[in-house]
Amino acid sequence: MKILSVDTGIKKYPIYIDSSYGSLLSAFEEAGLTGRSVCIITDTNVEPIYADEITALLEGHFTRISRYAFKAGENSKNLSTISDFYKFFIDNHLDRKSVLIALGGGVAGDMCGFAAATYMRGISFVQLPTTLLAQVDSSVGGKTGVDFLGNKNMVGAFYQPDFVYINTSTLNTLPYREVAAGLAEAVKHGYIRDKSYLDFFLENREKIKALDSGALAEVVYGSCRIKSDVVSRDEKETGLREILNFGHTFGHSIETLSDFKMLHGECVAVGMLAALCFSHSRGTVSSEDIQRCRELLEYFELPVGIHDFDISAIYAQMFNDKKTKNGVISIVVLRSIGDAYSDKTAGEAEIKAALEYICK
Ligand SMILES: NC(=O)c1ccc[n+]([C@@H]2O[C@H](COP(=O)([O-])OP(=O)(O)OC[C@H]3O[C@@H](n4cnc5c(N)ncnc54)[C@H](O)[C@@H]3O)[C@@H](O)[C@H]2O)c1
Ligand SMILES: [Zn+2]
């Protein structure tokens, strides 16, 4: 097992990375969370696979174990589901000392975290992420929330868990398309912060795609290390944390225009290629760098181009991005591979030129 630490200044907590749930109970003991009532929040896909195992591991060490499974999918990520959670918590006598467990992907994590942040003005919660995207990205950093009236993550809170426990073997039951979406975010971490982590992908892509447990543990560990370092330095995204949006200004636009038919990670993959082209136009990365990224994403079966999208529509949609303030679009640009900054000087022509590369 590997352990990392997140320290936002206000809260410090561990991330455990393991290939089973064998040390989960010890993690609860270490955090001083046993002997309380606990509620597992999960979705209808994950519950039948993992919830019994977790319940059996915790049985006898908590005063009460309850479980709530919401209908799997982004469509459930709203205030109505949160309201159902609160009712369930009251029916099951959850109090200020109770603990919530987020068991599932980013949807379970974001909603469980938001419920924990708000129920009785804040109770403890832990993250047990079961998708690669949640393991390398959403379970770390404390962003929680729900969508509202079609606006992604419009209502939420920064709220850190008491610990994150990642069991990488859960990825064996995850559909490959979802695995690939998580890989896009992991590759992103290499581009913005750590060239040697990116090189690991280039050198071990066969093992990674075959879900080799050692390779996956390295991927998850490397991403958590990078993300926890960035959020420890800037919890509330006032500066450095913005670099985590590499590929996202382009990606979010495409995600919205695809009517969310493309997965977030897939949009990040094409968005990353556009961001590399943008960096190339600023003279910081070579065309070989772009080609290498393209080949890697293609190998992982991620999209490297989009069809039937209108460049002007993608550009126009970028003005609706949460990161666009006062009409100024933010684009994360590479200074070199492994070093990024958020740029606010992008002009229409340069942005459209980058989009041309990915629009077929
Ligand atoms: N908080 C953050 O910092 C942050 C960062 C990135 C994304 N997000 C959010 O994360 C969400 C996306 O997360 P996601 O991609 O994990 O989606 P998800 O939670 O919907 O999971 C994807 C699918 O995989 C299924 N699943 C989960 N684990 C499984 C397993 N081990 N085996 C089989 N099936 C499994 C789920 O039921 C679901 O159908 C979005 O709502 C996004 O806004 C949050
Ligand atoms: Zn993302």
Distance from C-alpha of 311 to C-alpha of 329, rounded to nearest angstrom: 16
227 given a catalytic annotation? yes
Using one digit for the tens of pLDDT, what is the confidence trace for 96-135? 999 999 999 999 999 999 999 999 999 999 999 999 999 9
Q: What is the mean pLDDT of the chain?
A: 96
Protein residue with least CA distance to atom 41, ligand 1 = 107
Is the pLDDT assigned to residue 354 strictly greater than 90? yes
Using one digit for the tens of pLDDT, what is the confidence trace for 324-344? 888 899 999 999 999 999 999
What's the pLDDT score for residue 183?
Answer: 98
Is the pLDDT assigned to residue 247 strictly greater than 90? yes
Residue 265 CA to ligand 2 center (angstroms) comes to: 6
List of domains in the chain: 2-173 (3.40.50.1970), 176-358 (1.20.1090.10)
Which residues, in sequence order, are CB contacts of 288 under 8 Å at separation 6+? none
323 given a catalytic annotation? no
Which residues, in sequence order, are CB contacts of 46 under 8 Å at separation 6+? 69, 72, 103, 104, 105, 108, 130
What's the pLDDT score for residue 270?
Answer: 98
Residue 96: CB atoms within 10 Å? 11
What's the pLDDT score for residue 150?
Answer: 81
Distance from C-alpha of 315 to C-alpha of 277, rounded to nearest angstrom: 15
What's the pLDDT score for residue 3?
Answer: 96
What's the pLDDT score for residue 235?
Answer: 78
DSSP conformation class of 96: T
Distance from C-alpha of 356 to C-alpha of 248, rounded to nearest angstrom: 16
121 given a catalytic annotation? yes
Using one digit for the tens of pLDDT, what is the confidence trace for 18-66? 999 999 999 999 999 999 999 999 999 999 999 999 999 999 999 999 9
Using one digit for the tens of pLDDT, what is the confidence trace for 229-238? 999 888 777 7
Q: Rounded to 5 degrees, what angle do the CA atoms 257, 262, 264 make?
A: 95
Give percent above pLDDT 70 in the chain.
100
Using one digit for the tens of pLDDT, what is the confidence trace for 293-329? 999 999 999 999 999 899 999 999 999 888 888 889 9
The SS3 assignment for 210 reads coil
What's the pLDDT score for residue 300?
Answer: 98
Tokens of 264: 């977030």
- Protein residues with CB under 6 Å of any ligand 1 atom: 43, 45-46, 49, 72-74, 77, 104-108, 110, 130-131, 133-134, 137-138, 141, 143, 152-153, 170, 173-174, 178, 264
